[in-house]
Amino acid sequence: MHCSSCEKLLDRYLEGTLTPRQMIDISAHIGSCAACAHLLEEVKVIDALLFTTNVPELPANFTFAVMAEARSMPSPKPHQHRLLSFFTLYLAAAWIAAVALFIVSGTSLPKIGAAIAAAFGTLAKSFSGGAAGIAHGAPVLATFSVGVLTIDLTLAAAAAAVYFLIRPRLAAHLASASEAQ
Ligand SMILES: [Zn+2]
């Protein structure tokens, strides 16, 4: 048998799919030919690499360990944008209130001032003890200022209440809802 004939049949020789006669011939040639014997060893190595399913063995508790590790990590802080969100909410509420007041009072600015002055006139008097002189000099302006300040504070308190009371409850509700799925 020539080396060229032997080389072509080495794969099938390893698979054992040759005829008994061919198997004997190859075996005899390999026994007497160092080059083909060496080639046979190389083919064996390549076959071993090709057919070895090299899946890494995972420990039995792999998933549990990974999840435990993930849970032990600090959760991302949702507080970074809290202040920004608060002021956005506050500004939105302030604008809504201003527009609502504008619509309710009609479209004239003096009417808005008058409405605020009427609504907060009593409040202004009670608050402007020290600023009585100023209030005397320009009562409408002082009343208007106090009224705006009071609206601001009220809106801020309302926005704070919405943000710090309702939002966590909504978040908790959403979290429990998503857990239930
Ligand atoms: Zn040979």
Question: From the CA of 52, how far away is ligand 1's center (Å)?
Answer: 28
Q: Which amino acid is at 12?
A: R
User: Locate tokens 């799925």: which residue?
Assistant: 181
pLDDT at residue 137, rounded to an integer: 47
Distance CA 22, CA 129 (A): 118
Question: From the CA of 94, how far away is ligand 1's center (Å)?
Answer: 94
Distance CA 111, CA 119 (A): 12
Question: From the CA of 51, how far away is ligand 1's center (Å)?
Answer: 26
Q: pLDDT tens digits for 45-98?
A: 888 888 776 667 777 888 888 888 888 888 776 665 677 777 777 777 877 777
Question: From the CA of 12, how far away is ligand 1's center (Å)?
Answer: 16
pLDDT at residue 33, rounded to an integer: 94
pLDDT at residue 6, rounded to an integer: 92
Average pLDDT over residues 154-174: 79
| Between 103 and 168, residue with greater pLDDT | 168
Q: pLDDT tens digits for 109-118?
A: 566 566 666 6
Distance CA 133, CA 135 (A): 5
Neighbours of 40 (CB within 10 A): 20
Residue pair 124/102 in contact (Cβ under 8 Å)? The answer is no
| Dihedral sign of CA atoms 152, 153, 156, 157 in order | negative
Distance CA 154, CA 32 (A): 102
Distance CA 108, CA 102 (A): 8
